[in-house]
Structure 1
Amino acid sequence: MDTVFLALRVLVSLGAVLGVIWFATRWILNGKRSPLGRTVKAKQLTVVAKQGLGAKASIAIVEAGGRRFLLGVTEHAVTVLDQLEVPAEPALPTTPIRLPSFERALEDAQLTQGQGAPVVVRDPIPLMPATRRAAREAEATRPAPSRVSGSLLSADTWRQTAMALRRAR
């Protein structure tokens, strides 16, 4: 008989916990997509920016229905001051950004450190191969990394350190 009451208590507790989780997800995900794939009511009004002008007055840019409005907001009234154009989204760059390697930048800095000449920065090293074939060839010629590569135990780390110290003299 005790096991029946224990099982009933476990089931009621489990139901209560699942109910709390269900209500919490409905409350948190209001206006977003739920984990089950259903769309909960989407926000139809978005405050883009708001600036206070005084104790009880402010202006706000609000987006509603694909249009933006400049609103004057006071304690007793909301007034449409102007209708604004929705700015176009900036296009993302399609080519990767090329950056110089740290080693070459360090060499450039060391070469010009003792001289009064301006710094001459070389063209950046391409980070990504231009084609898939070039990427496969580069991968095939690259030696396999050891378990200690990049750490204090690696011989390459000590070799690079010694070279950098020799150049610094």
Structure 2
Amino acid sequence: METLIVAVRVVLSLGVVLALLWYLQRRLSRGALAKGATNPVTVVGRQPIGQKASVVVVEVEGTRLVLGVTEQAVTVLHEKSLATPSSTLDEAISMLGAPQSAPATAFARSLAAATADDAAPVTASVASAALAGSILSPSTWRQTAALLRQGR
């Protein structure tokens, strides 16, 4: 009988502690939301490129950043303010090809919004857009040669 009383006291004490923690967590999280302490960084989309590499579109204080993420580093690929017309987004998505899934469409919209240029709407040819950043692109070879020259 004595063991039963001890077990009930332990369970009751544990319940009181868990209820107190739950109450404090709810009260503190409401206080942070009321003060306007929202998360300043929002991940808009993520697209895996390889096993350990991906491209991430992040929104920070009215700016969208396209980030290249690997195990060793995070690199800013492009930075853009959020003022992008809807028609430019639709043109960019049609140039990228029609993705099959909803997350891929959302990521394509985010990427197009981040990489679209305000000065000139997306009018590049599909072939040059498809080669951009690949080993077949002439600009990639020019950039590589320039980096090698700087290293000497």
Normalising by structure 1, we get a TM-score of 0.35
**TM-score with structure 2 setting the length:** 0.39
Bigger helix share: 2
Larger of the two Rg values belongs to structure = 1
